[in-house]
Amino acid sequence: MRECGGGLEARTRNVLEKANFGGAVCEPVVDSVQCKTEACDRDCSLADWTVWSPCSMACNGGNQQRQRNVIIPIRANGKCPKADSSERLENQVCNTMPCMNDEICIAQQDLILNIDASGSLNDEAWKLMKNFTAELLKRYRSTYYGQDQTHIGAVEFGNGAIEEDGTISKAKLISELTDTISSVETAVAGMAHLRGFTNLAQSFKLAQKLLVQRGRSGAQSAILTISDGKPSFMWETKQVAEDLEQKGIMKYMVVVAEFPGSDAWEFMKSIATQPHETNTVRVPGWDALADGGGPFVQEALVKFCPAAHSPSQTLREEKQRGFMLVFQKGYCGWLGKTLGEEVFDPQECFRLSQAHGNTAFSMGRKYRKGKCSVEILKFDTEQAHCTQYKQWEQNPGAPTCHWSGSNQFHNSKYYDWYALEPNCAVES
């Protein structure tokens, strides 16, 4: 049967009784109609544009993409735009604001630091490796706006050796995945220089195990490898990296490589999550880390953290607009009057709250999105109000709720809670 270009469909029937004695002749016993008349050459059909991907940088200008996928493929000599053509792939610049260089990570991310302690590092390079890792850890926060954010674990590789049974030695566990980042800092500070060969595949396997056993369902799973060279057994390493990719685990790379065309750099780019430009950082030699590697810590943070945040920039913006986000997924005080059902901008909810003489408001989330409500939040004195607001400014990581009638936040996944800045006298 033809699939295109025109064909015939036929049907037949049998004569049950022939005409006799001048009876009418039977109607035709074969009937046919044309079918599959469409052209054999068919162009592909494309879906609508996807949503824009996350920005590749938190500041200093990144890139994001959207694409159109093929939903009906071509047939015969039909045509279809290439995957990288402008009809199917669009790029745009994003997050063009300058970095403030105090960015911290407040993402809901489960991150395993994967640290190279192989024999290719001399004693000085090993000290620089540990120092860089310590500086990077200082930029992560396990709680912010009252919410559970980054959890971190650590694995050390570079103890590679062939065991008696012919297997390669396993990587070393430095820290389980935890929300106590200070304990990870202590564990990293105590790492020993292993001086073996670079058993990166084994560290990937251990990191994956930690993420599977302790990872959170709503958090991004990621491995951040810090290394100076090609791993041993490259084929096996690439296979394990591909397995991580299939499981949706992000692979970030900080690579100490003096020259951009080096084999080590090219290989590490190839096993990073693609596109490699947004998921790799090249450090041009150990000397670049002599002062702690500040610029490379900064670059790694704003590239690899899904929610990098500048406290200084946020504080300036809060001062300008007259209110601040204090608590996500909850509120302080008691839910009060609803001021609007289609308010999607906190600035508008602030104006409505201010007009009603309130001190706080909440913005709806999920199915309550668009809802602007004011909270009944009263303080015993104006000075108590000013003191509390100042505490919220100084400690956004773990805010407290102290007011007449309560001493804690009410948890609710349907609201984010904001406070209006009080008119406080400046101390002389």
* Residue 175 within any structural domain of the chain: yes
Residue 343 CA to residue 370 CA, distance in Å, equals 5
- Whichever domain contains 205, its CATH number is 3.40.50.410
Q: How far apart are CA 371 and CA 356, in angstroms?
A: 16
Q: What angle do CA 406, 409, 415 make, to 5 degrees?
A: 130
pLDDT at residue 80, as a whole number? 96
Predicted local confidence at residue 1, as pLDDT: 57
Q: How confident is the model at residue 294 (pLDDT cuts 50, 70, 90)?
A: very high
pLDDT of residue 26: 86
Is 427 among the domain residues?
A: no
Q: What is the share, in percent, of the chain residues with pLDDT greater than 70?
A: 97
Q: Are residues 339 and 359 in the same domain?
A: yes
Model pLDDT, residue 345: 95
Q: Are residues 289 and 326 in the same domain?
A: no
The pLDDT of 389-409, averaged and rounded, is 83
266 and 169 inside one domain: yes
In a domain, 428, yes or no: no
pLDDT of amino acid 350: 96
| Residue 425 resides in a domain | no
Q: Tell me, what CATH number does 54's domain have? A: 2.20.100.10
Statement: the pTM of the whole predicted model exceeds 0.85: no
Q: Mean pLDDT over residues 312-339, rounded? A: 91
Same-domain status, 232 and 357: no
Residue at which a domain ends, from 309, 342, 363: 309
User: Would you say residue 2 has pLDDT above 70?
Assistant: no
The domain in which residue 141 lies consists of 104-309
**Each residue's pLDDT tens digit, 116-135:** 999 999 999 999 999 999 99
Q: Is residue 55 part of a domain?
A: yes
Residue 426 domain-assigned?
A: no
| pLDDT for res 406 | 64
Average pLDDT score, the chain: 91
The answer on 292 and 372 residing in a single domain is: no
Last residue of a domain, one of 265, 283, 309: 309
Q: State residue 425's pLDDT score.
A: 67
3-state SS of 157-185? ECCECECCCCCECCCEEEEEEECCHHHHH
Q: Is residue 67 part of a domain?
A: yes
3-class DSSP assignment, residue 249: coil
Shared domain for 291 and 342, answered yes or no, is no
Determine the average pLDDT of the residues in 318-342.
Answer: 91
**Do residues 300 and 315 both lie within one domain?**
no
Q: What pLDDT does 428 receive?
A: 40
Q: Is 24 a member of any domain?
A: yes
pLDDT tens column, 28-72? 888 888 887 777 888 999 999 999 887 878 888 888 889 999 999
| Spatial CA neighbour of 158 closest among 200, 97, 188 | 200
**Count: domains in the chain:** 4
Give helix 263-271 / helix 234-246 axis angle, nearest 10°.
30
Q: Tens digit of pLDDT for each residue in 207-261?
A: 999 999 999 998 999 999 999 988 989 999 999 999 999 999 999 999 999 999 8
Give the residue-averaged pLDDT of 151-178. 94
- The residue out of 59, 76, 98 marking a domain boundary is 98
Lowest mean pLDDT among 187-196, 327-336, 343-352: 327-336
Q: Per-residue confidence at 404, pLDDT binned at 50, 70, 90?
A: low
Binned at pLDDT 50, 70 and 90, residue 82 comes out as very high
Question: Quick one: CA dihedral 333, 337, 343, 345, positive or negative?
Answer: negative
- The phi, psi pair for 210, rounded to 5°, reads -65, -40
**Residues above pLDDT 90, as percent of the chain:** 68
183 & 243 share domain: yes
Q: Are residues 135 and 247 in the same domain?
A: yes
Helix axes 123-137, 294-304, angle to 10 degrees: 50
Q: Are residues 147 and 222 in the same domain?
A: yes
DSSP state of 303: H
Same domain, yes or no, for 142 and 271?
yes
Assess whether 151 and 278 both reside in one domain.
Answer: yes
